[in-house]
Amino acid sequence: MEYAIVLAGGSGKRLWPLSRETRPKQMLKLLDGQTLLNRCFDRLATIFDHRNILILTNAGYTDLVRENLADLPYDNVLAEPVVRDTAGAIGLAASVLSKYDPDATMAVVTADQLIRPTKVFQQALIDAIEFVKRNPEALLTFGIEPTYPATQLGYIKMGPAVAAEDIENSVYKVEAFKEKPSEVIAKEYLESGKYVWNSGIFVWKAKTILAALYKLLPECQEPLKKIQAAWDTPDQEEVLENWFRKLPKISIDYAVMERAPNVYAIRLNCKWLDMGSFAALADVIESDQNNNIVVAGASQLMDCKNSIFVTEDKDHMIAAIGVKNMVVAHSGNATLVCPIGETDKLKDLLELIKSKGQEKYL
């Protein structure tokens, strides 16, 4: 059977103060009253039965996820006791699925991405599932057609196409994964036509990814087997709490994808956006005549240009005079004012706030 696994554990520090430790970015209602998690679920719900969609999230976010996704069965939200990056989360999901369905095919997506048009992505996902069902040893990922020489994204070097009959999208052998490049190298990647952006979306057999984790990351084998054995028993929560934290904290790319032999990819010719920063709002929200992005119940701007003004509070007005090239973000008990070009310092700012004993604002 086919399952969708949604990774929804990231907090999104680059969107503070909208996102907080108790309210991650995928729960922000910035998209016409919808959250990123809502949009992600809707993309999957036309392909997968609701009962076959699992959400992995931090233990502190489970109630928020269930409130967001009322149609999702209660037990389909899996809580990670601690953060162990994508290898641990995927290992947990694969362990649970393979216990009940040894031949399970799983698609892994993240909750904080926007993908348009939806139908192009859905067809690629259907094709990927079919390819993996025919080639059960395959580990398949998706590469986004690059539109500019991005230096903040990883890349995949595509090899030759492989035989894949009755599938709309071509499937390629992956030659290499590349880390975030310099601007010069990113331009070379773009000009060559051989490189795509690494999307962090995957399709594979649960048993195949588990076998790869056991082989390439052997220290995860005992914790995952302990968790799998205890799942759906009275000891489930205790064993999960004790053993999940023993998993290595590492991404699935580093742990498996960069080292495994049977890695393939489908090119996604989509508009793809990782909603990880305020600047990303410019790609999804229409700007005004002065190139301002405004998300607010009410606003009045005078002589403002090239700025971002955001609040989720529908009863809160944002008013500004002469603001240029700035981010102004208001949420609850905190307001951020920052030059757009310096938003990369947000993590440092949050560390400063924490060091001053002001954790209540985080």
Spell out a b/e string for 2-35, using b for 16 or more CB atoms within 10 Å of the CB, else e.
bbbbbbbbbbbbbbbbbbbeebbbbbbebbeeeb
- Name the nearest CA neighbour of 113 among 50, 36, 55, 41: 36
CATH architecture of residue range(s) 2-274: Alpha-Beta Complex (3.90)
The answer to whether 171 and 264 are in contact (CB under 8 A) is yes
The string of DSSP codes covering 48-87 is: S-GGGEEEEEEGGGHHHHHHH-TTS-GGGEEEESS--HHH
What is the model's pLDDT at position 11? Answer: 67
CA 40 distance to own-chain centroid? 10
What is the model's pLDDT at position 71? Answer: 87
CA distance 117 to 134: 27
The answer to whether 282 and 293 are in contact (CB under 8 A) is yes
The answer to whether 2 and 129 are in contact (CB under 8 A) is yes
pLDDT in 10s for each residue of the chain, 362 residues = 999 999 998 766 788 998 888 788 888 877 777 888 999 999 999 999 999 999 999 988 999 999 989 889 999 999 999 988 999 999 999 999 999 999 999 999 999 888 889 999 999 999 999 999 999 999 999 999 998 998 888 999 999 999 888 899 999 999 999 999 999 999 999 999 999 999 999 999 999 999 999 999 999 999 999 999 999 999 999 999 999 999 999 999 999 999 999 999 999 988 888 777 787 777 778 889 999 999 888 999 999 999 999 987 888 899 999 999 999 999 888 999 999 989 888 889 999 999 999 988 88
- Name the nearest CA neighbour of 95 among 199, 247, 202: 247
CA distance 155 to 144: 9
The answer to whether 23 and 40 are in contact (CB under 8 A) is no
**E-strand spans in the chain?**
2-7, 53-58, 77-80, 105-110, 113-116, 139-144, 155-162, 171-178, 195-205, 263-268, 271-274, 293-295, 298-302, 308-311, 317-321, 326-331, 334-339
Element (H, E) at 66: helix 62-68
The answer to whether 248 and 84 are in contact (CB under 8 A) is yes
Q: How many CB atoms lie within 10 A of CB 50?
A: 14
What is the model's pLDDT at position 8? Answer: 92
Element (H, E) at 300: strand 298-302
**Radius of gyration of the CA atoms of the chain, in A:** 21
CA distance 223 to 219: 8
In the chain, domain spans: 2-274, 279-361
